[in-house]
Amino acid sequence: MLDMPFHVEIDGRQYRGRGLSLVRAGISGLIDPHAAESERIALFVFPFQGFVVALSIEVRLKDIDPSRGTAALEFLEPMGEHLPQLRHLMNAHIAGDLVTLGDTLSVRPAEGRKPGTGAVPGQRGLRRLGGTLILLVSTVALLGLVATKVHERVFTRTLAIPAVAGVEGQTLAATATGQIDFLNPDAKSGEVAFAIRANTGQTLSVVLPCDCQVQVMGVQPGSTVFAGDPILRLSTPDAAVALTGTALPEELLDLARAGAIDVTFADGREVSARLAPDGLGTAAPGQPVPFRLLPDAPLAADLTGQLAEVTLHRPTPDLLRPLFDRSTPDIKADAP
């Protein structure tokens, strides 16, 4: 057991060291006699000139003598990670050397430095200025990121159901629940455009009311439809492409009050839009409500039938507008 200065801290209580080896240590102090054979994590602290070295070692308390206030600490893992440092400290104490752990605590004497190796004042100033600029740029970037995330979380909302681009016009819907028995998208004005064999056994025919462009709304002969389902979309040759969709009841207020609306198609093209004056339809209580959006610029003809994500931007308070100021994106698709 080597007699060298150290103390041990266990469970917040400090004990004086009475001897140390590579496998055990002796301590003295106010020791709980019921702690015998218990395992603890002990912090061994070695004081030196201007610094201390602390090692955490798992120990078992043994040979507790309450009358003398002494005990022994048996190392649970003598070959643990603390071994190289502990052996270095003990060897340095035996040799009488100043303990240094590599370059961590060693300082090169001032007279040993080569002339011209230190930084000149101008270089130190440039380094300090560069560090300040980097800090400012990082701070501005962080503030911008935080502002963007706050804006996305508080002032934007994406509708749960995507919209679809389609030519504006009139919709011919199913007049009864049943099966499509006949479908003729090339019909002329006054001719039967489609017929439905209703569940009642009747066959109901719908006549095309005009000579106009006809778009089939995802049905074919034999398809089962319900009363009110869209069958054909009628439009004039010069009709524009608009956006239609349905909004959940909890989304209606944000849709009606939106300061700006962004629409993103599946192919990445974006367009800004607005809610049509008569753009909100009607629906049964609790059911999705149909809506219609008018793009701020003409949509390309090849967008017809494509799904699009609708993002609503709530009005930004005047106080926060300089932080969240955003320009409404223009359409990135080629006009027809």
pTM of this structure: 0.40
Per DSSP, the three-state class of 50 is coil
Q: What is the third-level CATH fold of 143-167+240-336?
A: Elongation Factor Tu (Ef-tu); domain 3 (2.40.30)
**CATH number 2.40.10.220 given to 7-95:** yes
Question: Of all helices (H) and strands (E), which one includes residue 109?
Answer: none
Q: 328: part of which helix (H) or strand (E)?
A: none
Of the pLDDT bands very low, low, confident and very high (cuts 50, 70, 90), residue 330 is very low
Query: How many angstroms separate the CA atoms of 186 and 9, rounded?
Result: 93
Alpha carbon separation from 113 to 108, 116, 117, 228 (Å, rounded): 7, 9, 7, 91
Q: What is the pLDDT of residue 123?
A: 66
What are 288-327's pLDDT values in tens digits?
888 888 888 888 878 877 889 999 887 765 555 555 554 4
Q: For residues 78 and 75, what is the distance between their CA atoms, to the nearest angstrom?
A: 5
178, two tokens: 């049943």
> What per-residue confidence (pLDDT) applies to 27?
94
**Six-digit token string for 132:** 């300040």
| Confidence (pLDDT) at 143 | 72
pLDDT on residue 317: 59
Mean pLDDT of 37-56: 89
- pLDDT at residue 182, as a whole number: 92
* 166 against 204, higher pLDDT: 204
Contacts of 163 (CB under 8 A, 6+ apart): 243, 244, 245, 263, 293, 307, 308, 310
What's 28-67 look like in SS3?
A: ECCCCHHHCCCEEEEEEEEEECCEEEEEEEEEEEEEEECC
CATH architecture label of 169-239: Beta Barrel (2.40)
Domain boundaries, the chain: 7-95, 143-167+240-336, 169-239
Q: Are 169 and 212 in contact (CB under 8 A)?
A: yes
- Identify residue 155 by its one-letter amino acid code: F
Residue bearing tokens 């054909």: 232
Which residues are paired to 92 by β-bridges? none
The two three-digit tokens of residue 163, written as one number: 């919209």
Secondary structure letter of residue 98 according to DSSP: P
pLDDT in tens, 177-198: 999 999 988 888 888 999 999 9
pLDDT-based confidence at residue 142 (cuts at 50, 70, 90): confident
Place of tokens 């006009």: 335
